[in-house]
């Protein structure tokens, strides 16, 4: 359940960051690579950067945590959040600032609905890779 809760938070669904932290600390993975993240969440709680959620999500998916993977998922999350709230200016900023990580989305319409579907699909593919 915790991986899905992290996904919901990162993809802009209505779930609070403190609730995600509480859930992930209550339901910990046995994966050794997850331990440093749990210690960090214990120390800083909801003040943790979203990159910590992204990196832990990669660990929970059995993926290696490298800068490129974290940057890609973080960029997808930023697009998803902007699309979910209808923030066209924020969406344009993210597409500009994270252009390298979002190259495959350039052909997708800026329609929030189409973009939301494309981003969620790309996010899931990244976790399955």
Supply the DSSP string of 9-65, one letter for each residue: HHTT-S--HHHHHHHHHHS----GGGHHHHHHHHHHGGGS-HHHHHHHHHHHTT---
Same domain, 49 and 80: no
Long-range contacts of 100-106 (CB under 8 A, 24+ apart): 101/71, 101/72, 101/74, 101/75, 101/76, 102/75, 102/76, 105/79
Q: What is the mean pLDDT of residues 54-72?
A: 95
Same domain, 54 and 87: no
Domain containing 42: what range?
2-60
CA dihedral 102, 117, 7, 30 (to 10 degrees): -80
Same domain, 53 and 72: no
**In the chain, what is the greatest distance between 2 CA atoms, to the nearest angstrom?**
41
- How confident is the model at residue 107, as a pLDDT? 75
Same domain, 34 and 79: no
Same domain, 73 and 113: yes
**pLDDT tens readout for residues 97-123:** 999 999 988 777 667 678 888 999 999
For the chain, how many structural domains are there in total?
2
Among 72, 82, 59, 81, smallest CA distance to 123 is for 72
For residues 37 and 20, the answer to whether their CB atoms sit within 8 Å is no
Same domain, 71 and 31: no
Same domain, 40 and 87: no
Residue predicted with more confidence, 77 or 83: 77
Q: Using 50, 70 and 90 to split pLDDT, how confident is the model at 129?
A: confident
Same domain, 47 and 97: no
């Amino acid at each position: 359940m915790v991986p899905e809760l992290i996904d919901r938070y990162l993809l802009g669904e209505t779930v609070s960051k403190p609730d995600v932290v509480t859930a992930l600390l209550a339901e910990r993975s046995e994966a050794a690579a997850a331990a440093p993240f749990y210690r960090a969440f214990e120390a800083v709680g909801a003040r943790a950067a979203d990159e910590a959620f992204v990196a832990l999500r990669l660990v929970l998916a059995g993926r290696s945590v490298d800068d490129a993977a974290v940057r890609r998922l973080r960029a997808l999350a930023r697009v998803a959040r902007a699309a979910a709230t209808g923030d066209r200016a924020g969406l344009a900023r993210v597409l500009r600032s994270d252009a390298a990580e979002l190259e495959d989305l350039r052909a997708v319409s800026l329609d929030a609905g189409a973009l939301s579907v494309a981003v969620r699909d790309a996010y899931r593919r990244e976790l399955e890779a």
